[in-house]
Structure 1
Amino acid sequence: MTRPHDMGGRFGDGAIEPEAEDIKFHADWHPRALALTLAAGALGQWNIDTSRHAREALAPRDYAGFSYYEKWLAALADLLVAKDMVTPAELTGQAAPALSPLTDKKLPKERVAAMLAKGGPADRQSGIQALYAEGDAVITRPIAESVLVNGGHTRLPSYAAGARGRILRRHGSHVLPDSNAHGLGEAAEPLYAVAFPASELWAHPEHPKDEVVLDLWQSYLDAAP
């Protein structure tokens, strides 16, 4: 399946142009887009993995052409309709908006700072035994796509599929995005920081001895022969 968002290591997308760290927004509507997305997410109808998948599921032409916050708004519109929170007619202005039954769950402005400070921890208790320890050699599964849902969400990038690395650190057990994004449960499992030599990931690395560290779930990995 084509994954337009899976851009790591892809050629032809132009040079990366670093910006000053104090630049937060490029347009006046950008913070409004962020606020709207957070406010809608606080209604509890989806989780962060669902929202990430909604952005990934945008049409390839839209994904390539939209700016960062345009992707956020387009995905949010899709989620609001998919969850029956807004009708297509309301969204397009063809019908007057009806009062939502979720009104009582709205996030008041005085609670925003505390909610953002709390964050959304994804570490969980899990009955799945950790199979790998620091220093173990592992290899990622050869196909990066989700094995749970056809065209579904996953955090394994294509450039790292079938690559050999070593366990740098164990993070405990965390929610599995591949499952959580699609309403299949949190399915927590061990999560690892895995270090890969640049020479393992790229055909012609500029600095072969450099390493790339990825956080990967246990179901993405096998013991390296």
Structure 2
Amino acid sequence: MIKEKNYYLNKSLFISATNTDVGKTYGCEKFAIALTNLGLKVGYFKPFETGVIDKPIDGSYMLDLIKQLNPQFDFDINEVVPYQFKLPAAPYVAKKDTKLDFEFLLNQKKKLQKKCDVLIIEGAGGLMVPIQKNMFIIDLIKKFDCEAILITPSKLGCINDTLLSIEALKNRDIKFDFYINLYQDKDTFEDVSLPFLKDYFPKINYLQEL
């Protein structure tokens, strides 16, 4: 479950996942609402969105929600999703010849944080999705000095994916919590995956219970 209000003050939460289509945007939505219910003002930042045709779908959805929850967060979509690429691929591939400015992203993060108590940052794909040749989403979490929220699926194979992602976060000394998104194979999850997860982890968190 979500922690007490003071824990989140002046924090940035980086929502990542074990892979693509696991539920990062859904996780951002759930955390935004839960934190608002704690009495906190929330903000949103998605440094990269790929597969953008007319507008960034995930970023636009979240920005609309955030503005309802925190009217002081008066930024436009280009400020909230500064890098928008047409190709639905990892940022490293989708950016083509675009040069990424990480100092700009750090400054943008600071700018957005001024209008909220907690800034929710959404990644692209999973932890090891490449941004540069030797820089991955997990490295951006470290660079942004964020606490990570790892979203993991309920489907067959989630044990392996979850443990590998947790190992990667621990190896980089990134503080994290993980939440299972009960959406795939949820009818068989209790029989197939939950027995090990319950024995291995002291506590299991579900996005649906936020």
Identify whether the pair has TM-score above 0.5, normalized to the shorter chain: no
Q: TM-score, normalised by structure 2?
A: 0.24
| Bigger Rg over Cα | 1
Which protein, 1 or 2, shows the higher relative CO under an 8 Å CA cutoff with sep ≥ 6? 2
Task: Kindly indicate which of the two structures has a greater share of residues assigned to helix.
Answer: 2
